[in-house]
Amino acid sequence: MKLYISPSNQPSNKYIVGNTNEKAEMEAVAAKVKAILDKDFDCEAIMATLTMGINSNERPQEAKNKGCQYYIAIHSNAAGVSPSTASGAVAFYHPDSAESKKIGAAAVRELNEVCQIPPNRASQAVSGMTQFNGSGYGEVRSPMQKGVIPVIIEVNFHDNPATAQWIIDNKDAIAGAIVKAVVGTLGISKKEGAPEAPQPPAPDKQAEPSTWAAEAWAWAKAAGITDGTNPQIQCTREQVVTMIYRALIGGKG
Ligand SMILES: [Zn+2]
């Protein structure tokens, strides 16, 4: 699967804090998105030629020429009053593609999940084909016309000082949230060898300790350090420290 990553090309959209702009910030986020996908996931991430604009014959055509199936546009948002109090992620999808809508909804959910500032948008995932008297946003309309499924992700607002600062300070978390939304929606699997979240063993393996641990397990049970249940299940820090404590005081006490 090939994903086309298109960060904002709008240097004139200044951030209200931090002496930076939408193009600089979103190119940095997009580079992180590509790095995570390249390292950990079974797909190809193609970065847009950053000097190219978003007209139909520019990035959307490049996405098609390079064989990409999805066009992920990454932007930050402006409410148009400065400073604004608008907050939260927004996504624009193409109404003819259920996948486009799903990626958009997932991106909003994941981005809002990693942001401490509560979102206050009435509509979070909306059609990107109703604007400009129905011709829609170029990065929604043009890729779809070429058979590349689009979504525009607005990570948060750059004219609200709080969310602008949050974007500047949290680009790793933002990139992680975008990746999670995209790979989760499209079912892109992790590369072999990529770190997996630790998995508990199958239920039938959980009742007995492993051979190498059997002697220690029997000792710990006899000494009252553990009740002997769930030998292969992971431990919380409070469980670990309680067992150390019991070992040192000589049993449950
Ligand atoms: Zn933008």
Whether pLDDT at 197 is above 70: no
Domain ranges of the chain: 2-186, 203-249
Phi, psi dihedral angles at 150 (to 5 degrees): -100, 155
What value does the CA radius of gyration of the chain take, rounded to a whole number of Å? 24
How many angstroms does the Cα of residue 44 sit away from the middle of ligand 1?
24
pLDDT for 204 equals: 61
- What is the percent of the chain where pLDDT is above 90? 81
How many angstroms does the Cα of residue 155 sit away from the middle of ligand 1?
10
How many angstroms does the Cα of residue 21 sit away from the middle of ligand 1?
10
List, for residues 122-173, the tens digit of each pLDDT value. 989 999 999 999 999 999 999 999 999 999 999 999 999 999 999 999 999 9
The mean pLDDT value of the chain amounts to 93
pLDDT for 196 equals: 64
What does each C-alpha distance from 231 to 222, 241, 248 come to in angstroms? 14, 16, 20
Q: Which amino acid is at 51?
A: T
pLDDT for 205 equals: 63
How many angstroms does the Cα of residue 43 sit away from the middle of ligand 1?
25
How many angstroms does the Cα of residue 150 sit away from the middle of ligand 1?
15
CATH code at 2-186? 3.40.630.40
How many angstroms does the Cα of residue 76 sit away from the middle of ligand 1?
5
What number is the average pLDDT over the span 58-62?
Answer: 98
Q: How, if at all, do strands 44-47 and 90-93 pair? A: unpaired
pLDDT for 231 equals: 87
How many angstroms does the Cα of residue 78 sit away from the middle of ligand 1?
8
Kindly state the tokens that stand for 220.
């710990």
How many angstroms does the Cα of residue 61 sit away from the middle of ligand 1?
19
Work out the number of other CB atoms within 10 angstroms of the CB of residue 176.
17
Label residues 124-155 b or e (16+ Cβ within 10 Å = b): bbbbbbeeeeeebbbbbbbbbeeebbbbbbbb
List, for residues 80-100, the tens digit of each pLDDT value. 998 999 999 999 999 999 999
The residue assigned the tokens 């607002």 is 157
How many angstroms does the Cα of residue 74 sit away from the middle of ligand 1?
8
How would residue 209 be classed by pLDDT, with cut points 50, 70 and 90? Answer: confident
How many angstroms does the Cα of residue 38 sit away from the middle of ligand 1?
25
**Residue 112, CB half-sphere, CA atoms under 13 Å: how many?**
17
How many angstroms does the Cα of residue 12 sit away from the middle of ligand 1?
10
How many angstroms does the Cα of residue 39 sit away from the middle of ligand 1?
27
How many angstroms does the Cα of residue 8 sit away from the middle of ligand 1?
5
